[in-house]
């Protein structure tokens, strides 16, 4: 989805050498902290699971004439894409780290994949989201 005024791409010129196991663990820890809203939060913003509750409250209770069509379309597309990326990230980790960890990572990936499928249905009616997975 192309949003006006946003970054289209990021490029990295130099390859960074890292221990893959350490990098995976750090990435997973950052992802867990982000999902649990254990990150810096700007004033007047809601993040993590509470953000979805806030959005649902707005969708259900704000009068139709005050709803922001583009905003709801954009948030839906972002949530959909985020669920997809989370599922793929967790699937990749589950294939790299075998054993008990793999089963937990795969189960989490399946949950995000279900969320992605649900969000694809939500964003389908918005024409601006026609190119989102």
121-127 LR contacts (CB < 8 Å, sep 24+): 122/76, 122/80, 123/73, 123/76, 123/77, 123/80, 126/69, 126/72, 126/73, 126/76, 126/77
Residue 15 is assigned to a structural domain of this protein: no
Residue 3 is assigned to a structural domain of this protein: no
CA–CA gap between residue 128 and residue 32 (Å, rounded): 30
pTM exceeds 0.85, yes or no: no
Residue 48 is assigned to a structural domain of this protein: yes
Please count the structural domains in the chain: 1
Higher pLDDT, 35 or 117: 117
**pLDDT band for position 42 (cuts 50, 70, 90):** confident
- List the single range of 38-42, 107-111, 115-119 with lowest mean pLDDT: 38-42
Task: Give the residue numbers spanning the domain of 43.
Answer: 20-129
Residue 77 is assigned to a structural domain of this protein: yes
Quick one: pLDDT at residue 131? 56
Quick one: pLDDT at residue 3? 58
Tens-place pLDDT, residues 59-73: 999 999 999 988 899
């Amino acid at each position: 989805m192309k949003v006006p005024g946003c970054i289209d791409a990021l490029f990295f010129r130099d390859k960074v050498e890292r221990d893959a196991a350490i990098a995976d663990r750090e990435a997973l820890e950052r992802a867990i902290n982000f999902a649990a809203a254990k990150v810096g939060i700007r004033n007047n913003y809601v993040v993590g699971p509470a953000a979805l509750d806030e959005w649902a409250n707005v969708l259900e209770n704000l009068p139709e004439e005050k709803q922001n069509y583009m905003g709801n379309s954009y948030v839906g597309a972002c949530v959909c894409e985020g669920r997809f990326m989370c599922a793929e990230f967790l699937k990749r980790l589950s294939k790299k780290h075998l054993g008990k960890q793999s089963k937990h990572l795969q189960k989490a990936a399946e949950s995000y994949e279900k969320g992605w499928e649900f969000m694809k249905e939500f964003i389908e009616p918005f024409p601006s989201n026609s190119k989102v997975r």
